[in-house]
Amino acid sequence: MNKTLNPKAWYFVIPVFALVAFNAVVPLMTVVNYSFQETFGSNVFQWEGTRWFKEILHSERFHASLGRQFIFTFIILLIQLPLGIAIALTMPKKGWGVPVCLILMSMPLLIPWNVVGAMWNIFALPDIGFLGNSLNSIGFDYNFTQQSGDAWFTTILMDVWHWTSLVVLLSYAGLNSIQPAYYQAAEIDGASRWDIFRYIELPKMKKVLTLAILLRFMDSFMIYTEPFVLTGGGPGNATNFLSLDLVKMALGQFDLGPAAAMSLIYFLIVLLMCWVFYSLMMKDEGRT
């Protein structure tokens, strides 16, 4: 759509700008402020320059949790995107099946995150949980509180359970926006099912999939509450993701300086990744 130049449009944006700035600028400046100082409590601060940043960037602990975070995000994107698209493709297009599917599939999205964690905890417990008990009774040695592989498996399964529906809903929206004429044309041309998917459905879903990837990337990169309740980062440090580590540092050990520096580095990484995604996808959109 060609937009007209209108400087007065700024007035429309002011409420949003004010509300977000109110929430974003002051706390962000506080974090920046902490990141350059050392505190010994009771509001005594000492200038430390870039010491915390250097320390964090060289700390093994940070590298380890960052690595875990990337692996986790990569795995869940790899599972949730194809799975979500597959479910959206096979979902009923009309009739009573539509509301039933939509309502049931949206359920996990509307459960508070700590309840999700608690629910999966009791679901996966090796003695009284359905998942844990079933796996053990068919011969797997499963115990997510003690074996790090099992903890990873449970955390990933929980995230797939929790968030795949978002991809489904968005893909379904994209699929529904395709006009029947495209399918008719494809039929006349004798296109295979794969061709229809590759050359009609996938390009038409691009915008919603962009949104899905961005949302899933951001949220999985910031995941905190669910693993905190499910595993608490354990066993050991096996599922100690970035957010968990950060909160442990900031509130557990009260190392405000290093925690603030880590927050900023963390935020910058998310920002950079999203900017790359965003501009890649917007560039594509501009060309077609």
Site for another protein in 142-171 (CB under 8 A): 161, 164-165, 168-169
Quick one: tokens of 109?
């999205």
Q: What is the closest distance, in whole angstroms, from the C-beta atom of residue 111 to another protein in the complex?
A: 6
Q: Would you count residue 232 as binding another protein (CB under 8 A)? A: no
Residue from 41, 60, 179, 283 in contact with another protein (CB under 8 A) = 179
Residue from 56, 76, 87, 230 in contact with another protein (CB under 8 A) = 87
Stretch that binds another protein, among 60-68, 71-79, 145-153, 240-248 (CB under 8 A): 240-248
Q: Would you count residue 224 as binding another protein (CB under 8 A)? A: yes
- Distance of alpha carbon 30 from alpha carbon 17, whole angstroms: 19
Q: Would you count residue 253 as binding another protein (CB under 8 A)? A: no
- Distance of alpha carbon 246 from alpha carbon 259, whole angstroms: 6
The three-class DSSP label of residue 46 is strand
Taking CA atoms, 210 is separated from 70, 204, 216, 244, in Å, by 19, 11, 10, 27
Residue 43 backbone class (left: φ over 0; alpha: ψ -120 to 50; beta: rest): left
The three-class DSSP label of residue 39 is strand
Q: Would you count residue 108 as binding another protein (CB under 8 A)? A: yes
Q: Would you count residue 91 as binding another protein (CB under 8 A)? A: yes
Residue from 36, 73, 76, 101 in contact with another protein (CB under 8 A) = 101
Q: Would you count residue 251 as binding another protein (CB under 8 A)? A: yes
Q: Would you count residue 275 as binding another protein (CB under 8 A)? A: yes
The three-class DSSP label of residue 122 is helix
Quick one: tokens of 1?
């759509």
Task: Map the footprint of another protein across residues 34-73, applying CB under 8 A.
Answer: none
Quick one: tokens of 258?
């290093």
Q: What is the closest distance, in whole angstroms, from the C-beta atom of residue 201 to another protein in the complex?
A: 13
Q: Would you count residue 238 as binding another protein (CB under 8 A)? A: no
Radius of gyration for the alpha carbons in the chain, expressed in angstroms and rounded = 23
Residue from 78, 236, 252, 267 in contact with another protein (CB under 8 A) = 267
Q: Would you count residue 252 as binding another protein (CB under 8 A)? A: no
Helix (H) or strand (E) holding 47: strand 45-47
- What's the one-letter identity of residue 109? L
The three-class DSSP label of residue 127 is coil
- Between residues 200 and 247, which has the closer beta carbon with respect to another protein? 247
Q: Would you count residue 123 as binding another protein (CB under 8 A)? A: yes
Taking CA atoms, 22 is separated from 14, 25, 30, 260, in Å, by 12, 6, 13, 20
Residue from 36, 52, 120, 144 in contact with another protein (CB under 8 A) = 120
Task: Map the footprint of another protein across residues 182-221, applying CB under 8 A.
Answer: 207, 211, 218, 221
Q: Would you count residue 225 as binding another protein (CB under 8 A)? A: yes
Residue 47 β-bridge partners: 37
Q: Would you count residue 222 as binding another protein (CB under 8 A)? A: yes
- Between residues 131 and 238, which has the closer beta carbon with respect to another protein? 131
If we measure between CA atoms, which residue out of 259, 281, 162, 272 comes closest to residue 219?
A: 162
